[in-house]
Structure 1
Amino acid sequence: MKLTIAEIVRACNGKLLSGDPQTEITSVSTDSRKISPGTLFVPIRGERVDAHMYIPAVFAAGAAATLTQNHTAVADDEQARIAVESTERALQEIASYYRERFSIPIIGITGSVGKTTTKEMVALALSSQWNTMKTSGNQNSQIGLPLTLFQLEHEHEAAVIEMGMSYPGEMANLAKIARPMHAVITNIGLSHIENLGSQERILAEKLHITDAFTQDSILYLNGDDVHLAALREQLPQVRKIYFGTQPWCDFCARNITTGENGSSFTLYACGTCYDVKLPVPGTHNVLNALAALAVVKGLGGSLHKAQEALTHYQPPAMRQQIHRANQITIIDDSYNASPDAMKSSLDLLASFPGRHIAVLADMLELGAMEQQAHTETGAYAAAKKIDLLIAIGPRAKAYAAGAKQANPEQPVAHFESNQEACIFLRSFLTAGDVMLVKGSRAMKTDEIVKAFL
């Protein structure tokens, strides 16, 4: 990226307190540890730490400029300081200004579950035919998305932007910043229902991803999701393409097979059929691949090249990564958790041969649904005939209760901490076992995976 300080001041309606307005900015960072010559530092005032305290350190590290909402004047100085009312809002305004320089297709990805894996598959499929930029990791927030946009360069021909939200109004703001021309909604689940109240409200918020759509834009929807399928006769102003296993879907998967060696299916789309193979298991990954193929076709690309690219897909860290250690298979899905994601991961566990051990920690941000969601997940695990359900955390006791209600013979164990669970697992696991590890991010269940790797 290249922006002058003068452009940045105009973009965020700031005031240059010191420094040369013609100084060139080549990167933007909110992390004082990631500073290089040409960096604009954006200090965010958080609940615990006000990053303005790091301004002297970032200049010492070579930063070219900083935003500040703590200063209205400074002594004469060559170091550039730009005063703004809110550094977070200024970051968003600068990113929006920078995004205007690009007329390439920008595809927004959102949904309650599977945003990151879908983003990765869509980007991989597009990369078979276009120079594609994608969100790094899960930088999909009010701060992460603007930082992602600064990764755009003029050689890019497409971009895949992950867009997450937790509170009302956040998706509308992200859409205003990124202005995606096309979008994928993976599903409408219970994630963040504590803040939004209902799945209907979650859907309404997610649909703000279309706020900047034009007549050429396309909204790609999962036809297997009941809330998204219900939009078939709605939103007449938006062109919709459906993907899924329902026979009416525009991109339909049939003859699905999935197991520890991967997945395969027949794609029916555009009046013909294609055989598609994926190196990862799980029906949910079939849906992710359908979304990727639909986007490629919607942009006028080759399905043949896209499906070939998908044969090289590898999941991001802690998102259903398959590890093998000491003759034990570990499904590391420890990045985060929600009821829908739990059920998907239990389906995946059940598809593997061997003894099945589900290690499930608390799910957070479920509000009034908390007890019911944990109980139903436990019952679902019992229905999958899991050989042992291990529950970790105070909320997870409801997993065990739900499992026992569904099947009084279901083996269960409850532990207060990851460490206690690890001690038990070391004595319990034997060769040939398959262990799923999953929980909300704050539960840090990746500690269990690391203990066995």
Structure 2
Amino acid sequence: MSIDLKNLIPVLQAEWIGFNTATFVDHVSIDSRSLQNGSKTLFIALSGVNNDAHLYIPELIEKGVQNFVVQYIPENSKGKANFLVVKNSLNALQQFAAYYRDLFHFPIIGLTGSNGKTIVKEWLNFLLSPDYNIIRSPKSYNSQVGVPLSVIAINEKHNLGIFEAGISMVNEMTHLEQIIKPNIGVLTNIGSAHDEGFQSLEQKISEKLQLFKRAAVIIYQKSELVDGCLASFLKENQLQDRVLFSWSFTDKTADVFILKKESKNDKTIIQYQYQNGIFDLEIPFQDSASIENGISCLLVLLYFKYDAATIQNRMQLLYPVEMRLEVKNGINNCSIIDDSYSSDFQSLKIALDFLESQNKNASKTVILSDIFQSGFSNEELYSKVAQLITDNKVNRVIGIGNTISSFSDKFSNAVMFQTTADFIASFESLNFANETILIKGARSFQFEEIVTLLEEKTHETILEINLNSISHNLNFFKAKLASQVKMMVMVKAFGYGNGGLEIAKLLEYHKVDYLGVAFADEGISLRNGGIQLPIMVLNPESTSFPSIIQYQLEPEIYSVKGLNAFLKIAREKNLKDYPIHIKLDTGMHRLGFEENTIDELIATLKGNSTVRIQSILSHLATSDDMNHYEFVLSQVRLFERLSSKLMSELDINPIRHILNTSGISNFPDAQYNMVRLGIGLYGVSNDPLEQKYLENVGTLKSIISQVRTIPAGDSVGYGRRFMAQKETKIATIPIGYADGISRLWGNQVGYVNIKNQKAPIVGSICMDMLMVDVSEMDCKEGDSVVIFGENPTVTEIADALKTIPYEILTSISQRVKRVFFR
């Protein structure tokens, strides 16, 4: 990309305020945190309910960014850069992408639907890449922001595009259609995802079809509902000349009719009828979703006029698609970012940004294979890759592949290997320790073997943490806040059992205002992990005060005795204005200054310059129970009176905060200057209506260790608490109460999820194992097992055990490996 800035003025309908119109940009960014921003970047400052990128423009100018699209110019930035001022910066991003798309004239496949878009896109890329130089959406970049960023990555060497478009409400697809302008439309499975944004399924289908206004052909699964929506869509838009290319399992009038399908050795054999011919096709999957996605790919290949033999040869090689970046614990105190099935230039940029957001170590290493389908010449490609590596301050590069090895001179501190086997042979000499390692390779390089070598060896039970869901939940609660209200996020108790440091890194990336921990050692661990955010210690013991000061943590002070103890140490260390947080007891009666101690507190602090009251806080006892609504209001009134007295008597204006997660939703008038987000970040709400809008964060998984069949009358487990009434198939799973599973969840009270079916837990839960009844399902040793996540949820388990979701989450043992993914 090389775009003349002055050409964008009419495109964006912008007002020019700058000093150099003779400027070209070769990179578009919306992320102020990206290390890839530079002098040739056009930064588009998006402004939304959760964040305003305009606030970071002064910082970006200091880093060398000179060109901005803005809705307003920050006061202290005028005259320091080039500004294109627009009414709406998101619209400007989309207008820029539409303008850029029109510079290219090769075929574009547009994908939409409820499910399967990303899978079909990745499979089509694999199936068509031997014959085309393809540009496609990275990962699942299919939103109002993701689509324009995907299209902007096109370059002159591409000759086929595959872009997906996702919508969650009416009128969104019109914007995406103007950006993608697909010639070929593919409608994937229509399901219940995002139903809440539409009045009916018909409305959702009709909205999705808007993507195909310029498509010469529309590929879809034939059904009465879709056919009806299609007919209306074509008539309304006067598109009766469009080609409809359909498939079906049941309707013989479809262009491609699936005569039969049968499962065999983890594969599916399909027989399909097309143009008076009958053909066999083998797909290496058995689940219905993969079969449907495979058939969508089949129709695209047929439309491209591939012969049956080529289709068979390629489709039998289809593979599971990893759509996420995973963070894993590695050997020798390393962190591993696993992106071992993908190697293209655009996704490398995304992975490097993720590396920065999750970097827990001082040193960064990238293990990178040859890069395919970039559209650039090798010389240009590896020059760009080397520059990306430099911009992201990567300390070491390990290249694997003939091509990247031939450009080793472009990289500093690089080691090159011709093959993955060569790397493995030299593994011990590479001395991996105390570094964050991004592993990014094309599938053919089998980098999963490298992941296995570097990954810390633990047992097969894991807690998967979805970082995207944490971001979603954070933004959900941010949207409830007034514009100037700060947010403290609680990461105590090992991030509510989910992993403190990794989540803290993500929160720091999102620029929250404060982190909250229970004890000093939790805060020290975060500081040792590189966290720079202010950290408040809610339950500091006086013995920890020296460490709190050493690590620049901020203590909550809740008694005169504690205050005097901290003041004594602070004076000994000659501190001045050290931040402390004053806790008031307004009715919780757990910790805090009561009303009769306020005068003594004021007298102790008056004229004191050793410490500074950074905030005054209290804690609501019943914010989650509207039956106690009046009690909460009495707490808020008392907090207002006591905090105001402190502020008046001491002539201070600190942050004030009283709301926790439930309080944010139920008592919006008490936001003060800051709120404290806790369990809501992790996807749990006590309000069933609110719960629908939160995303599940943690999924506890294990595997089946062994399957056996026992006769009627035999027992299972300690105490013979389960007696088989009939012949019963039992699966043993390597997770037990030492991993945090309550014994009360055993004996047919609870269940696990295997292949989307409930498997009741039978007998007593053991220390390291539990047993389940799998008599009614087809399963085998090694199959995946979900202990909790979407089904069952932690709330469901908590209700059954008469406890709260907090206890379920925080009980998960440290011996359970945490895997973080985006």
d(CA) in 2 for partners of 1:182 and 1:145?
A: 17
How far did 1:164 drift?
A: 0.4
How far did 1:115 drift?
A: 1.4
Please state whether the residue corresponding to 1:168 is helix, strand or coil.
coil
Match of 1:295 in 2: 300
Equivalent position to 2:208, from 189, 206, 211: 206
Q: Is 1:432 the equivalent of 2:781?
A: yes
Equivalent position to 1:283, from 283, 288, 293: 288
Match of 2:20 in 1: 20
- The alignment-based identity, stated in percent, is 24
Question: Contact 2:29–2:44 at 8 Å: present in 1 too?
Answer: yes
d(CA) in 1 for partners of 2:267 and 2:205?
A: 31
1:163-214 C-alpha deviation (Å, 9 max, x unpaired)? 000111001221122211221111322221212122111112111112234x
Equivalent position to 1:315, from 293, 318, 321: 321
d(CA) in 2 for partners of 1:68 and 1:7?
A: 17
d(CA) in 2 for partners of 1:52 and 1:318?
A: 29
Equivalent position to 1:263, from 246, 268, 280: 268
Aligned length: 383
How far did 1:308 drift?
A: 3.0
- Aligned pair in 2 of structure 1 residues 450, 56: CA closer, same or farther (>3 Å)? farther
Q: Is 1:220 the equivalent of 2:219?
A: yes
d(CA) in 1 for partners of 2:74 and 2:819?
A: 53
Equivalent position to 1:99, from 101, 104, 126: 101
Larger RCO, structure (CA 8 Å, separation 6 or more): 1
1:332-354 C-alpha deviation (Å, 9 max, x unpaired)? 998999xxxxxxxxxxxxxxxxx
How far did 1:23 drift?
A: 1.3
d(CA) in 2 for partners of 1:54 and 1:280?
A: 47
Q: Specify the code of the residue in structure 1 equivalent to 2:43.
A: F
Please state whether the residue corresponding to 1:315 is helix, strand or coil.
coil
* Structure 1 gap ranges (5+): 338-360, 371-384, 389-399, 404-408, 414-422
Question: Contact 1:253–1:290 at 8 Å: present in 2 too?
Answer: no
TM-score normalised according to structure 1 size: 0.70
d(CA) in 1 for partners of 2:256 and 2:306?
A: 15
- After TM superposition, list the pairs within 5 Å mapping 1:41-190 onto structure 2: 41-71=43-73, 75-77=78-80, 79-190=81-192
1:393-434 C-alpha deviation (Å, 9 max, x unpaired)? xxxxxxx99x9xxxxx96279xxxxxxxxx999633799252
Q: Is 1:239 the equivalent of 2:238?
A: no
d(CA) in 1 for partners of 2:270 and 2:465?
A: 23
d(CA) in 1 for partners of 2:64 and 2:308?
A: 46
How far did 1:106 drift?
A: 1.1
- After TM superposition, list the pairs within 5 Å mapping 1:351-390 onto structure 2: none
1:374-407 C-alpha deviation (Å, 9 max, x unpaired)? xxxxxxxxxxx9989xxxxxxxxxxx99x9xxxx
Q: Specify the code of the residue in structure 2 equivalent to 1:308.
A: N
Please state whether the residue corresponding to 2:131 is helix, strand or coil.
coil
- Aligned pair in 2 of structure 1 residues 253, 51: CA closer, same or farther (>3 Å)? same
Please state whether the residue corresponding to 2:320 is helix, strand or coil.
coil
- Aligned pair in 2 of structure 1 residues 210, 232: CA closer, same or farther (>3 Å)? closer
d(CA) in 2 for partners of 1:424 and 1:252?
A: 51
- Aligned pair in 2 of structure 1 residues 271, 411: CA closer, same or farther (>3 Å)? same
Q: Specify the code of the residue in structure 2 equivalent to 1:200.
A: E
d(CA) in 2 for partners of 1:333 and 1:124?
A: 29
Q: Specify the code of the residue in structure 1 equivalent to 2:167.
A: M
d(CA) in 1 for partners of 2:96 and 2:174?
A: 17
d(CA) in 1 for partners of 2:212 and 2:689?
A: 28
TM-score normalised according to structure 2 size: 0.41
Q: Specify the code of the residue in structure 1 equivalent to 2:157.
A: E
Please, what is the CA RMSD of the aligned residues? 4.6
Equivalent position to 2:277, from 272, 275, 299: 272
- After TM superposition, list the pairs within 5 Å mapping 1:304-453 onto structure 2: 304-310=309-315, 311-317=317-323, 411=760, 427-428=769-770, 432-435=781-784, 437=786, 439=790, 451=818
State which drifts further: 165-174 or 228-237. 228-237
Please state whether the residue corresponding to 2:103 is helix, strand or coil.
coil
- Aligned pair in 2 of structure 1 residues 194, 436: CA closer, same or farther (>3 Å)? farther
d(CA) in 2 for partners of 1:156 and 1:425?
A: 57
d(CA) in 1 for partners of 2:199 and 2:730?
A: 32
d(CA) in 2 for partners of 1:304 and 1:433?
A: 34
- Aligned pair in 2 of structure 1 residues 94, 245: CA closer, same or farther (>3 Å)? same
d(CA) in 1 for partners of 2:26 and 2:73?
A: 24
How far did 1:104 drift?
A: 1.1
d(CA) in 2 for partners of 1:128 and 1:71?
A: 48
Please state whether the residue corresponding to 1:275 is helix, strand or coil.
strand
Please state whether the residue corresponding to 1:411 is helix, strand or coil.
strand
- Aligned pair in 2 of structure 1 residues 122, 227: CA closer, same or farther (>3 Å)? farther
How far did 1:143 drift?
A: 0.7
d(CA) in 2 for partners of 1:38 and 1:429?
A: 60
Match of 2:534 in 1: none
d(CA) in 2 for partners of 1:278 and 1:336?
A: 31
Question: Contact 2:167–2:173 at 8 Å: present in 1 too?
Answer: yes
Question: Contact 2:269–2:281 at 8 Å: present in 1 too?
Answer: yes
Question: Contact 1:25–1:64 at 8 Å: present in 2 too?
Answer: no
Match of 2:510 in 1: none
